[in-house]
Structure 1
Amino acid sequence: MKTKLFTALAIVTLSFMACDSNDDNTKVTPQPETTELKGSITSNVTLKAGEIRLTDPTIVREGATLTIPAGTKIIATTQSAYILIEKGAKILAKGTAAQPIIFTSSTAKSGSWGGLVINGKAPLSRANASDPSTFGTEINDQIQYGGSDIADNSGELDYIILEYTGANISDDKEHNGLTLNGVGNGTKISNIYIKDGADDGIEFFGGSVDVTNLLVVNSEDDMFDFTQGYSGTVKNAYGIWTAGFKTDEVDPRGIEADGNHDGKGPDHINQSNFKMQDITIINHSSQLATKDKDGNEIPLMNDFVKIRRGATATITNLLIKNAANSTFSDIIDMKDGNGAGNAATNITYTFEPESLFSSSKIKLEGAAKATKNNTSTGANTSVFAWTKYTF
């Protein structure tokens, strides 16, 4: 479904909770209580733990901070709804294992709302040092991201659930579960659970932010997507397509990495050069194939790992599993029509089951290394106990 998102923005809606006078007749001043999110947030807002309706696109403007306490549930009521943090703004969403913060939809279905987008001031790939270091956000190209501050701080996310995200904008512009645009490594992101999204689970557009303890279940396109000069580290990440999973996407992957934006800048500086450590990718889907734009059937898992278009990846302790009745194109591939991945790429991995392994499905470029072993254990799943997901 192609959905044109609202561009006109209102002011965040506030309702007020009346308070009675106390016994000594001292008047208690009513305090504003935010029960609905929509439009522009231009000053600091702290939500009250409970249920909050997200009824329209909501943008936290530069200089403002949105604080979300543990146990809050934000419920999107329209497909056009999303939350965007401008560069220079912050989100402080700190849940706990016992009281995570949940971003969900009133319709329990993938593609029901636009997800969470965070913009920062960290570097992107670009033509040269004098080229503008900012770029327009997919959902609204008037809102810029990127800059020169590697340590930029956009806030903190901890113990977060994002579900039923991924509303489409057009063929080449979609919402993900979590979109990180030029986000700096002063931002803290950990303990993230993204489930049942219509596009990528998480996508990094440049930036340097690190992410730890990331669980992605049944993303309809890529599990982990990197582009436009990302230079951080993803540690302890687990992505899975379960037995009943189905998708209409033509090229879903476990890991997809571009050095520059959409392969359109093969000579750009600051190409993606990132690390992943302790990673599991599993394909258990019983859907054997999907179809490309011409109607031709292709394997459901297009590639487990795709490092292309100038990207450099260092991936250690990678565990790849494929069900015996599930199809895939390549285990590791480093090239497409818009360019090859950087030959400095180095991957160590274990593939299971051995009966499905084929060295012909490892396609490297130049001096790139992919070392197969039988010792990679992948992600530590015990840290995801708080999600209640059954491994």
Structure 2
Amino acid sequence: MKKSKLFLSILTIAALLGSCSDDDDNVTPGTDDDGGVVEQKDDVIDSQDDPDLDPEDLKGEVRADVTITADSEWMLTGALRVVDGATLTIEPGVTIKAQAGGTEVYMAILQGAKIDAQGTAEEPITITSAAENPRSGDWGGLILAGYANINTGEFAQTEVAEITYGGDNNEDNSGIIDYMIVEYTGARIGGTQEFNAITFYGVGSETSISNIMVRYGDDDGLEWFGGTVNVTNALVVNAKDDWFDWTHGWTGNGKNFYGIREFGFNDVTEDPRGIEADSNESNNDASPRSNPTIDGLTLYHQSTANMSDMIKIRRGSSATITNAVVAIFAAEDENAGTASDFIDLEDGSGNGSSETSISVSALGGIDATAIKNVGATITVEDGNTGADTSVFAWTGYDFPSLGTESED
């Protein structure tokens, strides 16, 4: 018995000496210094206090209502996916810097989830690249997926990030975006699989999208895959491919769209366009047929690179475009790039709908006769004013006058 007591005493003394040498050596993982449980990161965000809601390492699956606050600068380090039932709120003035991680870094609002990103003219929300020398394609982009109609089946899956979209609720609500800037997007998986700056997949009409600026995207500026969402005041600057692109049955409205390829931005894809409009390549008559209405549109090509078409409407798509201006002017004394066609409704996989109606003014180097209308109503007329640039004053973008060099 005495030996046992002596042995226990020795163990007790050793334990005490060990605890005095280094407190951290005896802290059990998952507990604090007082033995309390500390929640560990698990790539799931289920509360505002979750350690995964980390300004320095933002990523994971958002399963609860959480807020990205303006009192910190946030680093997006992977995929941030907001799931059904959760709302991601982003406060005015927030800057989110995306780690240059290609297709693994993006933000997605999934079906049944919402975004509440209400910036202001004085304090817009910015999502940009964290690279020291940022460039297009540094990260993925912003995705919204809803339950509105598409024409490729009841449901479909996105070409990137494996996100389901589509359904039968054209009034679906994916939330609010107002006064937001998105930059340096467009990471590519392959030739036909790439992120856009902002992509709307089956997004419904109760969603509110207004006052957005996207620039330096490695693919398209804005793209719609079906849905009924309306977008007001959209500025696209220096998208490598198409500036405005829709397919799979988008039937929403666009108000005040301005797209520009600046002088000196000569990066292009194989077939860059101001507008590329599709409905369904496999079945041009599939319902719903793409048929948006766009009022107030400016497409301005300053670069010396060549455009495929300024407006391409094909594969069953229809559209009503009013008060449009399309212009090609070179800056300084350079020769402007050209566009193969001003407006083209012809395509080997199906022409654009003859119900298309476009009222447009052609300025500068546009060949106003380069129109393939396939029975559509195309009215080329003087006097259109195009997009109202004054509503984009909050961006700080210095718009060039039509026909003069950019002052950016």
- Whether these two folds match at TM > 0.5 is yes
Counting matched residue pairs gives 347
Q: Which of residues 74, 98, 103 is equivalent to 2:96?
A: 74
| Residue aligning to 2:380 | 372
Counterpart residue identity of residue 41, structure 1: V
Q: Which of residues 17, 31, 56 is equivalent to 2:78?
A: 56
Q: Which has the higher contact order (CA 8 A, sep 6+)?
A: 1
Note if contact 1:15-1:32 (Cα within 8 Å) is conserved in structure 2. Answer: no
Asked if residue 282 in structure 1 is aligned to residue 292 in structure 2, the reply is no
The whole-number CA distance in structure 2 between the counterparts of 1:286 and 1:82 is 31
The whole-number CA distance in structure 1 between the counterparts of 2:343 and 2:357 is 11
Counterpart residue identity of residue 220, structure 2: D
The whole-number CA distance in structure 1 between the counterparts of 2:316 and 2:167 is 21
Note if contact 2:274-2:309 (Cα within 8 Å) is conserved in structure 1. Answer: yes
Asked if residue 100 in structure 1 is aligned to residue 124 in structure 2, the reply is yes
| Residue aligning to 2:358 | 347
Note if contact 2:79-2:107 (Cα within 8 Å) is conserved in structure 1. Answer: yes
1:186 to 1:375, Cα distance in 2 relative to 1, 3 A: same
Q: Deviations over 1:170-213 (max 9, x none)?
A: 11111000000000010000000001110000000000000000
Q: Secondary structure at the match of 2:319?
A: strand
Query: Structure 2: 5+ residue runs without aligned partners?
Result: 1-41, 400-408
The whole-number CA distance in structure 1 between the counterparts of 2:274 and 2:193 is 19
| Residue aligning to 1:337 | 348
Q: Deviations over 1:11-62 (max 9, x none)?
A: 2498969xxxxxxxxxxxxx99641321211111111113111000111011
The whole-number CA distance in structure 2 between the counterparts of 1:37 and 1:246 is 33
Note if contact 2:233-2:391 (Cα within 8 Å) is conserved in structure 1. Answer: yes
Q: Secondary structure at the match of 1:270?
A: coil
| Residue aligning to 2:44 | 11
Note if contact 2:52-2:59 (Cα within 8 Å) is conserved in structure 1. Answer: no
Using the TM superposition, give the Cα deviation of residue 224 of structure 1 relative to its aligned residue in structure 2, in angstroms.
Answer: 0.2
The whole-number CA distance in structure 1 between the counterparts of 2:144 and 2:69 is 21
Equivalent positions of 1:1-391 (< 5 A) are 10-12=43-45, 34-35=54-55, 36-49=57-70, 50-77=72-99, 78-79=101-102, 80-107=104-131, 108-126=134-152, 132-141=153-162, 143-260=163-280, 263-287=281-305, 300-324=306-330, 325=335, 326-353=337-364, 356-359=366-369, 361-366=370-375, 368-391=376-399
Q: TM-score, normalised by structure 2?
A: 0.82
Note if contact 2:48-2:66 (Cα within 8 Å) is conserved in structure 1. Answer: no
* Structure ranking higher in strand proportion: 1
The whole-number CA distance in structure 1 between the counterparts of 2:86 and 2:328 is 45
The whole-number CA distance in structure 2 between the counterparts of 1:44 and 1:358 is 52
| Residue aligning to 1:28 | none
* Same amino acid, percent of matched pairs: 45
Query: Structure 1: 5+ residue runs without aligned partners?
Result: 1-8, 18-30, 127-131, 288-299
CA RMSD of aligned residues (A): 1.8
Q: Secondary structure at the match of 2:126?
A: strand
Question: Could you say which structure has the larger radius of gyration?
Answer: 2
The whole-number CA distance in structure 2 between the counterparts of 1:302 and 1:192 is 25
Counterpart residue identity of residue 76, structure 1: A
Counterpart residue identity of residue 72, structure 1: V
Counterpart residue identity of residue 263, structure 2: A
Q: TM-score, normalised by structure 1?
A: 0.86
